[in-house]
Amino acid sequence: MRRLVIALLALVAVACGGAAQTAQSPSATSKVTMATDTDLTNVMIGQERFVIDHDIAQNVYSGLVRLRPGSNKVSPDLATSWTVSGDGLKYTFKLRKNVKFSGGFGPFTAADVVASFDYERDPKSATAYNAQFSLVKSVTAADPYTVVIELNQPYSSFLSGVLAWQSGLITSAKAIREKGADYLATHPVGTGPYHLSSYEKGQQITLTASKEYYAGEPAIKQVVYRYIPEAATAVLALQKGEVDVEQIQQAAAYRTVKALPSDKVKLYEGPGWRNYYAWLQCGNGRVTNDPRVRQALERAVDLKQVAQGPGAGMITVNHSYFNPTVLGWTNDLPTYGHDPAKAKSLLAEAGYKDPGQLHIKLIYYKSSLYEPLALAVTDAWRSIGITVDVTQIDQAAFGDEMAKGDWDAAIWGHAVGDPDLYAYNDTHSSGIGTTNYSRWNNSQADTLIEKGRTEQDTTARIATYKKLQALVAKDVPTIVLGNAKSIIAARPGIKGLYAPGYFGLIEWQYVKG
Amino acid sequence: MTFYILQRLLLGLLTILLIVSFAFVLLRVAPGDPASVWLGPLATPETLRALHHAMGLDQPIWVQYGLFIRQLLSGDLGISLNARRPVLGIILDQYPFTLQLTVGSLVAAIVLGLPLGALAAWYRNSWIDLSAGLAVLGWLALPSFWLGMILLLVFAVNLSWFPLLGAGDRGNVGSIILHLVLPSIALGARQAAVIARMTRSSVLEVLNEDYIRTARAKGAGERRVLTRHVLRNALGPVINVSALDTISLLGGAVVTEAVFSRPGIGSLLAQSVSQRDYTMVQGCLLFFAASVVVISLAADLIQGGLDPRVRNARRGVVQ
């Protein structure tokens, strides 16, 4: 019995000792711990699998150009200046000198740009960005510090949509040659502000500030991404001080952190890249082919209530199918406001005197807010008498279901950082059967989209995109349920922290500490 | 004896092969192709083809299976489709954490369940028996996920007696044990209930045996009767049931590892299933199947160790 008591006391003592060690230093931050709900899988350029892979890639690599947080204007990164030919087909980049790769892989030169983009363009590499590089005709090194990229057709989003995002990240030619993509998957070689200094699978990933970073060693010297798969545990970890920063994605977590005192938690919120949609099927002979039916479906939904209720305050009302951070976004659009009576009369016009005769098949998969949104939309439609058949589909199988188009309504999000990626992929007729899930076919829209992706003048582009957004709002190939707020919860005192557009992707070089 | 073990191992290997083959087919038949899940809808047909080839998925299924078996026989579990690293390496790196959790939970289950069951039987129909019964009911009913979160909230956050996250520092035994306490209780509670009930009924049965009366008649003290005569004979069925139930601990590891942010095969399996990382899923299932075989063999041997009748039956000795 005595031995048992001594053992218990020893256990408590060890526990107390352990607890003391995890106490955080309150002075100027040089180390930050962030919770992540995905574990590092592959950080080779073009091979990033999950959100954390993108987050890390953005911190260890650089591109020719970049988009600084909160801006949709392209700024220099590894390219110090560039010119575009009059016909929009030839881009000439002057490269930054005295930039070094990590891991002793030597100085950065044009050959590395060529090798990286050749890797992306080669179908055998099977990268996610291969399709985006299909409009690139050639990538050549004119001299060690000049790269010339020629396109097959003019593309105004080449800088902002392809080169400034993860598709444009650059790694060392020598590393690709000597180590291969499989090795680089967990040992990235980059010129970014951080190095991946350690990776303990299932536990944590550590980034260490690069002393050779061309813009100067960042203020935050060490970033630890702690793998916490359960959102509830992540919130507890924040409360306990075991993590400093985390992205809030679930309603329960949001409610909890909002209720915490401001000396414990600081919330950063802003527009995110992801919009939530109820895509409506405009092809495949479905009932939603009729625009009156689509307008009725939108009128039946109270979007303000959806943002607060099922959206749990994590959604902002957004009428545009673009997200608010992209060039040309506007909220000044014609909409079909909440009007159940008008919805019913539209249905009657369309031949459904009894709304119950209208059968809507709705599909969704369970992730983020898709389920509460699916249920809210279903409720709204059922409340005016429409017959709705809701089906939850497994996440991995959802893409195929979307592409097949055997549905009337589908709840899904889309998160990209460039207007053309919404315009061309979601609503151009060439995307029918692949990314244009609603199979919307509108020649006016096609013309605007093609104009928007070839116009060089920014003001003209913005005007074109405004017209396009208005067209989409009018014809309702999709009901925009709102924009997902980017929400970051952190302990107070981390200067320069912000809510990033892409999920939890904080570029730590901009955080002052 | 050796022949018996060899026989069991051979049977075990066959079981493992069947399980993994079943998983192999099921994965490829289920909707959701890992290449298109990964590349998304923008993938050009060329890229999809290239990735299918890199993943080994462009061959007919029997060719894939043949290659899979050949690799398996040479100890190669293939490459993780997503991480592009050998599956075996990843599993060897992660399985110690699941092993720790399984052993920890078994220990917790025994420490909590055995004394409770024995006491309940010894003081049958008293208030001790009644409260033990209620505790057992509680442990059986509580979902391990919920129990885990409650333990974390009370002991890791409010009281700060135990850490909240992870498996502790590698090589630091104290840290590892500290990180195991709460998850072991959460995962082991249900098995503790099973052990308690089994122990109680087994002890009760043994208490009625003639040899107990004989032992008392010989003048043995109650303590000696309990340990040397009662428990030794009662443990047989308890071990049998616990061993088989330990197998369910492996399944429970998936949820427990998630709640406690612990690395391990359970966590690995959960991630790889949702992303259709075929080779990784196969590898994890192989590990689980192998563990089940080892655990049931161990249980059999322990029972043999305790009961000479079983041992002799195996040897083919006639009583």
CA distance, residue A233 to nearest chain B CA (Å): 7
Interface contact flag, A126 B90, Cβ < 8 Å: no
> Taking Cα atoms as reference points, which of A480, A49, A66 lies closest to residue A275?
A480
pLDDT at A9: 53
pLDDT at B206: 84
Nearest CA in chain B to A16: B161
Interface test with chain A among B38, B47, B272, by most A beta carbons within 10 Å? B47
Q: What is the largest CA-CA distance in chain B?
A: 86
SS3 A337: coil
Nearest CA in chain B to A133: B44
Percent of chain A with pLDDT over 70: 95
Q: Count interface pairs A-B at CB distance under 8 A.
A: 144
Query: pLDDT category, A4, cuts 50, 70, 90?
Result: low
8 A C-beta contact, residue B55 and residue B47: no
Interface contact flag, A126 B258, Cβ < 8 Å: no
CA distance, residue B231 to nearest chain A CA (Å): 21
Write out chain A residues lying below 8 Å of B165, CB-based: 226, 228, 233, 237, 242
CA distance, residue B251 to nearest chain A CA (Å): 17
> Nearest by CB to B160, which of A19, A130, A394?
A19
d(CA B88, CA B95): 10
Nearest CA in chain A to B151: A233
Interface contact flag, A233 B82, Cβ < 8 Å: no
pLDDT at A184: 96
d(CA B109, CA A349): 67
Interface test with chain B among A203, A244, A414, A437, by most B beta carbons within 10 Å? A203
Interface contact flag, B83 A42, Cβ < 8 Å: yes
CA distance, residue A232 to nearest chain B CA (Å): 8
Interface contact flag, A201 B263, Cβ < 8 Å: yes
Interface contact flag, A230 B156, Cβ < 8 Å: no
A267: left (phi over 0), alpha (psi -120 to 50) or beta: beta
- What's the one-letter identity of residue A475? D
Write out chain B residues lying below 8 Å of A34, CB-based: none
Q: Residue A16 pLDDT > 50, yes or no?
A: no
Beta bridge partners of A226: A35, A204
Interface test with chain B among A12, A38, A130, by most B beta carbons within 10 Å? A130
Segments of A218-284 assigned E as strands: 222-227, 245-247, 266-280
| Cβ neighbour number for residue A60 with a 10 Å cutoff | 21
For residue B295 the two structure tokens come to 């655990």
Interface contact flag, B165 A233, Cβ < 8 Å: yes
Interface contact flag, A134 B44, Cβ < 8 Å: yes
Question: Sign (positive/negative) of CA torsion A144, A145, A148, A149?
Answer: positive
Interface contact flag, B31 A130, Cβ < 8 Å: no
Write out chain B residues lying below 8 Å of A242, CB-based: 164-165
Query: pLDDT category, A7, cuts 50, 70, 90?
Result: low
pLDDT per position as a tens digit, A80-97: 999 999 999 999 999 999
- Which one-letter DSSP state was computed for residue A14? H
CA distance, residue B25 to nearest chain A CA (Å): 17
Query: pLDDT category, A340, cuts 50, 70, 90?
Result: very high
CA distance, residue A203 to nearest chain B CA (Å): 6
For residue A128 the two structure tokens come to 């996610």
pLDDT at B300: 78
Q: Residue A6 pLDDT > 60, yes or no?
A: no
Q: Which portions of chain B are predicted below pLDDT 50? A: 318-319
pLDDT per position as a tens digit, A92-150: 999 999 999 999 999 999 999 999 999 999 988 988 888 889 999 999 999 999 999 99
> Taking Cα atoms as reference points, which of A274, A303, A341, A286 lies closest to residue A479?
A303
For residue A300 the two structure tokens come to 């039946």
Interface test with chain B among A47, A206, A233, by most B beta carbons within 10 Å? A233
- What's the one-letter identity of residue B249? L
pLDDT at B234: 79
Nearest CA in chain A to B31: A397
CA distance, residue A222 to nearest chain B CA (Å): 19
CA distance, residue B123 to nearest chain A CA (Å): 21
Q: Helix A291-299 to helix A340-349 angle, to the nearest 10 degrees? A: 160
For residue B283 the two structure tokens come to 């590898």
Beta bridge partners of A147: A93, A141
> Taking Cα atoms as reference points, which of A485, A426, A501 lies closest to residue A166?
A501
Interface contact flag, B274 A186, Cβ < 8 Å: no
| Cβ neighbour number for residue B176 with a 10 Å cutoff | 17
pLDDT per position as a tens digit, B86-109: 999 999 999 999 999 999 999 999
Q: What is the largest CA-CA distance in chain A?
A: 88
